[in-house]
Structure 1
Amino acid sequence: MATDASPKFKKPDLIPVPQQPEYNPAIAAAEHDGLRFWQFMVAGSIAGMVEHMAMFPVDTVKTQMQALGTCPIKSAGINQALNSILKTDGVKGLYRGIGAMGLGAGPAHAVYFSVYEFCKKKFSGGDPDNHAAHAASGVCATVASDAVFTPMDMVKQRLQLGRSPYKGVWDCVGRVLREEGLGAFYASYRTTVLMNAPFTAVHFATYEAAKRGLMEVSPGSVSDENLIVHATAGALAGASAAALTTPLDVVKTQLQCQGVCGCDRFVSGSIQDVVRTIVQKDGYRGLMRGWLPRMLFHAPAAAICWSTYESAKTFFQDLNSHNGDGGEGTEKQSK
């Protein structure tokens, strides 16, 4: 008789049981970048402030190009817009409205990046190549951040106009409240979300893909992530997303600046109404007004923003590591 028993007759305690991988907090934290929720907010706020302050003059030129020529129609090239600003207000005219940008960019980007990181963690399932999750996370981020940023963006754009009738940020806020009501601050919110949803979807998906692609061709980097990689990936993402969404950006500018400095006022305030007016006066090319300075703004702005953001994240990662904090707070606060 055979002496070896069939496996099914063996005692369960004698059957080898596969051991589960040992839980390592440091590895788990690394999947979420090892940061607490508030650290994502601080890093995003710093990145947004640096980005918009550095590129503000280009944004002013873009705003004037998109607002000029509504009634009557005028040429609105880069040179004309720049010369108009310098002739009217000098160099300081390039920075009109920067106070409103400062008040809005920090909080808005804190919301923007923290919501993005939270959603990326939830949607991606730990897969760094899940571009659909990156795009969806970007859309969620922009819906939340635009609710914070749109009012100050409207104030900023009105102050950027040539011969703006407002003396400053608070004068603009007060007069708009008295003359147009609270709704004026959110007149472009729907358009802004419709513009920024595809913008951020393209932006984040392109950034994550470009970053991973660049890291694969730069194996010399110790951490596989460096300033050049983040800046290059950010520039590619910003330029491509900016070109795609220029028509909606023109509509947004028209809605935010309506009735000021000769800009048309729209009765319904609908996107269709604005598009129809632009096409009637300037043809379809009017919808691409300001595309070049918009790309010139977003390419370096995204490079600055992402490299600043990733540097701030690295700072917090090093700080947490030095303090013996493996990032467990991230998990707790994300729930």
Structure 2
Amino acid sequence: MATTVTTADYYPEIAVSSSTHDGLEFWQFMVAGSVAGSIEHMAMFPVDTLKTRMQAIGSSSSASFSAPVINLRQSLSSILKIEGLAGLYRGVAAMGIGAGPAHAVYFSVYETFKKSLLAHGNPNTSAVHAVSGVFATVASDAVITPMDVVKQRLQLKNSPYKGVCDCVKRVLFDEGFGAFYVSYRTTVLMNAPFTAVHFATYEAAKKGLMELSPDSVADDETLLVHATAGAAAGGLAAAITTPLDVVKTRLQCQGVCGCDRFTSCSIGDVIQSIAKKDGYGGLMRGWAPRMLFHAPAAAICWSTYEAAKSFFQELNGRTNPD
């Protein structure tokens, strides 16, 4: 069976055994990944909005070191009271545009590199999955980052943009094309440790769960095992990489709605700037909704991806019977 664990702000790490990997064509992996990614992000978008608001709040030019920290409940109450339910979904169109293609690229690149690497080594080695995941992440981040910039700017309180098209036009005209990739390096660097922590935690959690109930999973790893292990891995990896996610948010939202504009896009310089103004605690803002996003997102993305793969496998079997 295959496993999906969500990575970076947004991408799953898959460990697929050879029995389920074979039989699908390249475009089928792309479609399955696209559907899985879109459903995942649409379902969890309100939580992502809360995370963005909490991470960006400390970057206001009027903020001070002693600025109060807004917790998850306060952020949710504020949005619902002032903006209503629609406030939680502002920017969802941008993610809808970017998530499908990005996940299609992720899954297809992952499967392509994994298949190639498996032909020259042990199909169960962590190194194969990790290397494949790195290539997949670099490629998919290049696709998702511009829309992630648009999405986060639209998610901000009192966002000056009317919608996706207006945001794209104004950013391109006022800041140039480079503004869409100002956080790309940070995103890729964030996803590297995310993938490592996530994969290691996932394998350990899955092994532990299987040892607790060996009879029920001896022949087939159940959905519950994959979902539980994936949720644990996603939550832990999300918490550990929160500082880099905060840096990404600050870079993508700089100069908008009072957020600080940085003279340097260096990760180290941004971290120092945040720590100087908000304290090192500012680098952990939004950790709770980030964990709440990635834990269920892993289960959603995995189950959707596997369902799509099963559909194509059955379709291929009917089309090309033995």
TM-score of the aligned structures, taking structure 1 as reference length: 0.83
Deviation at 1:113, TM superposition (A): 1.1
Deviations 1:65-87 (A, max 9, x none): 00002231432221232223223
1:88 is aligned to 82
Q: Please, which of 165, 169, 191 is the counterpart of residue 170 of structure 1?
A: 165
2:111 is aligned to 117
- Does residue 264 in structure 1 map to residue 253 in structure 2? no
2:9 is aligned to none
2-structure distance, mates of 1:207, 1:312: 22
Deviation at 1:203, TM superposition (A): 2.7
User: Which is worse superposed, 100-109 or 284-293?
Assistant: 284-293
| Unpaired stretches in structure 1, ≥5 consecutive residues | 1-27, 327-335
Deviation at 1:316, TM superposition (A): 1.4
2-structure distance, mates of 1:202, 1:321: 37
Q: Which is higher, the Rg of structure 1 or of structure 2?
A: 1
2-structure distance, mates of 1:120, 1:238: 21
Amino acid at match of 2:239: A
Q: Please, which of 122, 126, 132 is the counterpart of residue 131 of structure 1?
A: 126
% of aligned pairs identical? 71
Tell me the matched-pair count: 299
Q: How does 1:1-335 map to 2 (within 5 A)?
A: 30=19, 32-70=21-59, 71=61, 72-73=63-64, 74=67, 75-124=69-118, 125=120, 127-207=122-202, 210-211=205-206, 214=209, 217-220=213-216, 224-324=220-320
Deviations 1:281-305 (A, max 9, x none): 1111111111111001100011111
Q: Tell me if structure 1 keeps the 8 A contact 2:33–2:108.
A: yes
- What RMSD over aligned residues (CA atoms) do the two structures have, in Å? 2.1
Amino acid at match of 2:305: Y
User: Which is worse superposed, 224-233 or 191-200?
Assistant: 224-233
Deviations 1:119-160 (A, max 9, x none): 222234463430122112111111000000000000000000
Q: Tell me if structure 2 keeps the 8 A contact 1:215–1:224.
A: no
TM-score of the aligned structures, taking structure 2 as reference length: 0.86
Amino acid at match of 1:145: S
Amino acid at match of 1:81: S
2-structure distance, mates of 1:211, 1:320: 30
**Greater RCO, CA 8 A, separation 6+:** 2
Amino acid at match of 2:226: H
| Unpaired stretches in structure 2, ≥5 consecutive residues | 1-16
Moved over 4 A (4+): 208-216
Deviation at 1:243, TM superposition (A): 1.3
Deviation at 1:236, TM superposition (A): 2.0
